[in-house]
Amino acid sequence: MSYSVSAGLANRFAPRLLVLSADLTVTVFAYVCAWTLRFNFTVDAANWHTSHLVTLLLCRLLLFVQIRPFQGIIRHTGVEDAQLITKAATFSSLLAGFGSYALSRFLQVSWPYIPASILAIEYFISMVLLIGIRFCIKYLYYRLLDSPRGDYQEVLIYGAGDLGTRTKDMLLRDRRRRYRILGFIDDNPTKTGKTVRGVKVYSPLEVVAVFLHAPRKPQVILAMAMLSGHRRQEIARFLQQYQLSSIVVPSAQDWMSGKSGQRQQPEISVEDLLGRPAIRLDSTAVTMLLRDRTILVTGAAGSIGSELVRQLLNHEPARIILADQAESALYDLLFSLRRLPDSPGADVVLTTQVADVTDADRMQQLFQQYLPEYVFHAAAYKHVPLMEEHPYEAVKVNVLGTKIVADLAQLYKVKKFVLVSTDKAVNPTNVMGATKRLAELYLQSLNDLPQANATGSSTRFITTRFGNVLGSSGSVVPIFKQQIDAGGPVTVTHPDIIRYFMTIPEACQLVLEAAAMGQGNEVFVFDMGQPVRIADLARQMIHLSGYRVNQDIALEFTGLRPGEKLYEELLNTTESTLPTHHPKIMIARLQTPDACPLQQTIGHLEQALQYGDNTLLVSLLKKAVPEYISHNSPYATLDRTVRQSLD
């Protein structure tokens, strides 16, 4: 055991001793050169003092052992190693100069003193040799590594800053794979046309002309610190245009958190996918409305409901009742809201209630106990294909659940009731959209009910209608992300399908703003910008993740699902809009439905639930919502029959 330890120590220190010996040999050579130059190449033994060289060598040895520049690995020599050599050589030369001068003064003789001219010449020769030899060895080492030994990967590094240069060094040191750095790409005009570490910097346009039309396209490595989502999206579009793959170099924070890796998939922000600036609203009116109030949020554990709760906390209500039938999700929401004691709304009382909106007795207990002043009704079934298979649940939750909560809001004199609806309620082609449209109609009818006026109820019923929400549960973004993480394929139903999109925070901001401005019987429609082609969104996500479409990750089209249509609308053909004080919010001009027939229709639906007959339920839905025409659905056969009965 002792023998192996000794051998290990010998192997460990032998290279360092060899480097130290080489450094001292350089000192001897430099001193001889300096002495020769000082005396104009005249070799005279009278001018030579061995003690001068010994003194200098001892000073060098002492400072080199103290500062230890010989510990550096020669093939990785860098600026830091040069700094150590400079420090050791400088201090040792100063020590030799001042030491020899002091010794000569003490002994009152001149021979111990090393002439300053020789020390200066030796110092500069030693510096050049000590640093130069190391960099020459490093250069030769990497030249040998770069000798022909198989195929290599051509690389362009996007970003000529510090991160880009470090990336270049890292790639050239990779022993597992050979890389050829073609150049840097940078938008900064002060850098383009110049070289960084011997590599030319190109502008994006120059890169297109020089490299991107070749049959063998290079790989692009994004090495830009603090890259914004908008800028990353622009770069992704640029790369997508030429079918280039990219790798993102992780930041220092990602290295520290263990998220590093050669192919680092960036976190895709949903804001990057909008293609428009995010909506920002002034919330002063909302705060004035909701401060010190009691608020009920149904579906509080869902994507929209949970964000509504988070935003409501900023408006200082007295209490928020979080109602949802999903026990685990409700618990997780409460835990996330209260994990920081100084989080926004820390003084707001949060009350969680595991409750089903279709349970009339349970919901009445909540209203009776807490007397909410404002209700945000976000509880709903929303997945089109699932609800096409389960009309019973869609009618029960989206129609009867809304009716139960709305009737209780009127009974307990809630000030405002806000329904979170969807653009799928416009000219619905599926069961889910039809049930949401019927819920909208019911809320409109409540404003004119005779019994509401008789009881003195002043509840204002407001509907908010918007399109798809990026990042919500079941939306395309998390689905695409999962498919990309799994290596594909990414599936889209149809190449021409388009949708309107907004982020969850945007949607909730608009819901709260509509609550503040609503006076009752309005359907607020939000300006969501230009619609987005889902196939383009999928391609964009693949490129933002650092992959190539149909090369690294396949994009497949699966066909329209039951009840799905190619495009969504925010208004039907009989509706128009009125402007509001906010340019992103409009009011749909709708005809108020007759309350009595609508009540009867919903009563018939409630009775039909007892039979569990999906065909009967959908037939009643089509009678209640005449514009409901099924697409790609088994219920399309009912359209002609229902239309004839209505005629």
Q: Encode pLDDT of 266-308 as tens digits.
A: 455 555 555 555 666 667 888 899 999 999 999 999 888 998 9
Query: Which position has the higher pLDDT, 605 or 214?
Result: 605
Q: Which of 2-16, 178-192, 367-381, 552-566 has the highest mean pLDDT?
A: 367-381
The CATH architecture annotation of domain 153-267 reads 3-Layer(aba) Sandwich (3.40)
- pLDDT at 395 > cutoff 90: yes
Burial of 518 (0-12, 13-18, 19+ CB in 10 A): buried
Average pLDDT over residues 155-171: 82
Residues 274 and 70: their CA atoms lie apart, in Å, by 56
Q: How far is CA 229 from CA 234, 270, 474, in A?
A: 9, 9, 23
Q: Which amino acid is at 457?
A: S
Question: Residue 489, preceding bond cis, omega within 30 degrees?
Answer: yes
* CA dist., res. 148 & res. 154, Å (int): 14
Write the DSSP string, 171-202: HHT-SSS-EEEEEEE---TTTTTSEETTEEEE
Domain boundaries defined on the chain: 2-145, 153-267, 284-634
For residues 579 and 514, which has the higher predicted lDDT (pLDDT)? 514
pLDDT for res 11 = 46
Q: How far apart are CA 405 and CA 411, in angstroms?
A: 10
- CA–CA distance, 303 with 280 (Å, rounded to integer): 19
Structure tokens belonging to residue 535: 């196939």
Amino acid 448: pLDDT: 62
With a cut of 50, say whether residue 165 has pLDDT above it: yes
User: Does position 337 have pLDDT exceeding 80, yes or no?
Assistant: yes
Cα–Cα distance measured from residue 96 to residue 122, given in angstroms and rounded to the nearest whole number: 12
- In whole angstroms, give the CA distance from residue 542 to residue 571: 32
The pairing of strands 195-196 and 576-579 is unpaired
Q: How far apart are CA 502 and CA 258, in angstroms?
A: 32
Residues 6+ apart with CB under 8 A from 486: none
- The predicted structure's pLDDT at residue 3: 41
Does the predicted TM-score (pTM) go above 0.75? Answer: no
Task: Identify which has the larger pLDDT, 319 or 281.
Answer: 319
Query: Angle between the 534-544 and 476-485 helix axes, to the nearest 10 degrees?
Result: 40
Kindly state the tokens that stand for 235. 């770069």
Predicted local distance difference test score (pLDDT) of residue 585 = 80
SS3 assignment, position 276:
coil
pLDDT of residue 49: 77
Predicted local distance difference test score (pLDDT) of residue 572: 52
Residue 1 pLDDT greater than 50, yes or no: no
Q: Which two tokens stand for residue 428?
A: 């619905």
Average pLDDT score over the chain: 80
pLDDT of residue 243: 64
How far apart, in whole angstroms, are the C-alpha atoms of residue 417 and residue 593? 18
**Tokens 């969850």 belong to residue:** 504
pLDDT band at 256 (very low <50, low <70, confident <90, very high): very low
Alpha-carbon distance 259 to 251, whole Å? 9
How far apart, in whole angstroms, are the C-alpha atoms of residue 480 and residue 534? 11
Cα–Cα distances (Å) from 198 to 52, 170, 185, in that order, read: 42, 15, 14
Cα 111 from Cα 602, distance rounded (Å):
116
In this predicted structure, which of 181-190, 243-252, 497-506 has the lowest mean pLDDT? 243-252
**Exposure of 431 in the CB half-sphere (CA atoms within 13 A):** 31
Helix (H), strand (E) at residue 424: none
Answer yes or no: is pLDDT of 344 > 80.
no
pLDDT value, residue 404:
96
Q: pLDDT value at position 276?
A: 56
Please, which pLDDT band fits residue 571 given cuts at 50, 70 and 90? low
In this predicted structure, the answer to whether residue 260 has a pLDDT above a threshold of 50 is no
Q: Does domain 284-634 have CATH number 3.40.50.720?
A: yes
User: 645 falls in which pLDDT band (50, 70, 90)?
Assistant: low
User: Starting at the edge strand that comes first in sequence, how are the strands of the sheet with 319-324 ordered?
Assistant: 349-354, 319-324, 294-298, 374-377, 416-422, 460-466, 522-526, 585-589, 576-579
* Beta-bridge partner residues of 199: 196
pLDDT, tens digit, for every residue of 416-454?
Answer: 999 999 888 888 999 999 999 999 999 988 876 554 454
Identical fold between 153-267 and 284-634:
yes
Q: Going along 378-534, which residue ranges are E strands?
A: 416-422, 460-466, 468-470, 490-492, 498-499, 501-503, 522-526, 532-533
CA dist., res. 347 & res. 59, Å (int): 70
Q: What integer is the mean pLDDT of 250-259?
A: 51
Residue 167 is encoded by which pair of tokens? 């990336």
Q: Is the pLDDT of residue 37 over 70?
A: yes
Of 534, 504, 537, nearest to 273 by C-alpha is 537
